Amino acid sequence: MRVLKFGGSSVANAENIKKVNEIIKKSAQQDKTIIVVSALSGVTDMLLQSGTKAADGDEVYKENIRTIEHRHFEAIKQLIPVAHQSHLLSLVKKSINEIEDICNGIFLLSEITPRTKDRLASYGEWLSSQIIAASLNYSSFEITWKDAKELIVTNSNFTHAEVDFEKTNKKIRSYFKEADAHTFIIPGFIAVNKKGITTTLGRGGSDYTAAIITTALNADILEIWTDVSGMMTADPRLTSNAKVIHHISYREAMELSHFGAKVIYPPTIQPVMNKGIPVWIKNTFAPDDYGTKVTTEIDKSAEDEENIVRGISSINNISLLSLEGGGMVGIPGFSRRLFGALSSEQINVILITQSSSEHSILWLLTVMIPIKQREQWIKYLKMKSS
């Protein structure tokens, strides 16, 4: 069994979805296959932006929703014969009406909560997976659509929900044990909490959905299909001579992704690494390229031996907060208090340095804090730590 995940650019429009469909068909000829898909590229951003614009009282959200509708209608019209479009068009229309109703509510209240953001964002993957499933079924290729909300259970940490693996693994295993289809498609990124309310796994989280399914079922391989030919020595958008790393260890891949290599969502590697299941990063637009294979051990070629540095990654919009002062010398508990304050505000610390004199401590915080809120956070931390 194999699990294939296709990202936003791979399913951006009808032309790309046709390429994806070919890859799915080829994989299904060889093995039982589960497909996980992202939203059409840019749609998650547009959905969330519709919500925030509505909360700001900006009626541009209505135009945004029209654009989202148009993107999906266009894909359907180019993928499915006219005679078979009506069911899918009305499915999209129904979702668009719901999105509009939610945004109208946000507009009236001038307020958007993380829970509402997740509800809005969830439409992207729901729609893309329905359209791809229908396009395959209409081309006489049988694929079974399954809602991720019936498989993945999380806590209520909306926008970054944490998976309840006990419940999730049970649900995934029992569904796939009973289902007798050969190929399945599941929307990535979305899940539910214990009460059945929609949650999401964090931006870029479709990779994680695929990893969760892969490990629950002990699949043979997880393939991440994207718009580059593998994990590269640097971000190809920033470095023109970045090269593909053909073979990389789980630990190296995890390190690069945690520190900015967006090609794979950081939490994805851990569950597959625990089970020793290989991950293969492949390019939807150049499927014959080798890509990057991620495994426990790597056989280093002579060329690799020469390249001691495996890759370089970078992260934008980071706030560097420093807490220092003579008053901290010899007084226990400062670190605990500062980390307590950060954790209570759900701030994700990605790097810590501490001076050897123990006079000062430096914290490097992640992109999750908008740079414009830096002053506010500094004030908060000073207040909590003084």
Positions in the binding site for ligand ASP (CB under 6 A): 7-8, 38-39, 44, 124, 188-189, 203-207
Which of Mg ion, ligand ASP, ligand ADP, none has residue 124 at its interface (CB below 5 to 8 Å by kind)?
A: ligand ASP
Instruction: State which of positions 51-70 bind Mg ion (CB under 5 A).
Output: none
Instruction: State which of positions 165-224 bind Mg ion (CB under 5 A).
Output: 204
DSSP label at 346?
T
Q: In terms of CB distance, is 8 or 260 closer to ligand ASP? A: 8
Cβ neighbours for 157, distance < 8 A, ≥ 6 positions apart: 199, 346
Which of ligand ADP, Mg ion, ligand ASP, none has residue 176 at its interface (CB below 5 to 8 Å by kind)?
A: none
| Cα dist from 283 to 5, 145, 211, 231, 356, whole Å | 11, 24, 18, 10, 46
Helix (H, G, I), strand (E, B) or coil at 196: coil
**Please, are residues 275 and 3 in contact by the beta-carbon 8 Å criterion?**
no
Tokens of 112: 């958007």
Residues 183, 337: Cα–Cα separation, whole Å: 51
Question: Binding ligand ADP by CB under 6 A: which of 9, 64, 122, 159?
Answer: 9
Q: In terms of CB distance, is 189 or 280 closer to ligand ASP? A: 189
Q: In terms of CB distance, is 38 or 215 closer to ligand ASP? A: 38
**Please, are residues 135 and 87 in contact by the beta-carbon 8 Å criterion?**
no
Work out whether 202 is an interface residue with ligand ADP (CB under 6 A): no
Which of ligand ASP, Mg ion, ligand ADP, none has residue 205 at its interface (CB below 5 to 8 Å by kind)?
A: ligand ASP
Question: Binding ligand ADP by CB under 6 A: which of 51, 187, 188, 204?
Answer: 204
Cβ neighbours for 111, distance < 8 A, ≥ 6 positions apart: 55
Question: Binding ligand ADP by CB under 6 A: which of 263, 323, 328, 365?
Answer: 263
Question: Binding ligand ADP by CB under 6 A: which of 159, 226, 283, 319?
Answer: 226
Q: In terms of CB distance, is 8 or 266 closer to ligand ADP? A: 8
Work out whether 232 is an interface residue with ligand ADP (CB under 6 A): yes
Instruction: State which of positions 312-351 bind ligand ADP (CB under 6 A).
Output: 313
Please report how close the Cβ of residue 255 comes to ligand ADP at its closest, in angstroms: 11
Work out whether 38 is an interface residue with ligand ADP (CB under 6 A): yes
Tokens of 280: 């293969």
DSSP string, 115-139: HHHHHHHHHHHHHHHHHHHHHHHHT
Residues 186, 203: Cα–Cα separation, whole Å: 17
Work out whether 188 is an interface residue with ligand ADP (CB under 6 A): no
**Please, are residues 205 and 39 in contact by the beta-carbon 8 Å criterion?**
no
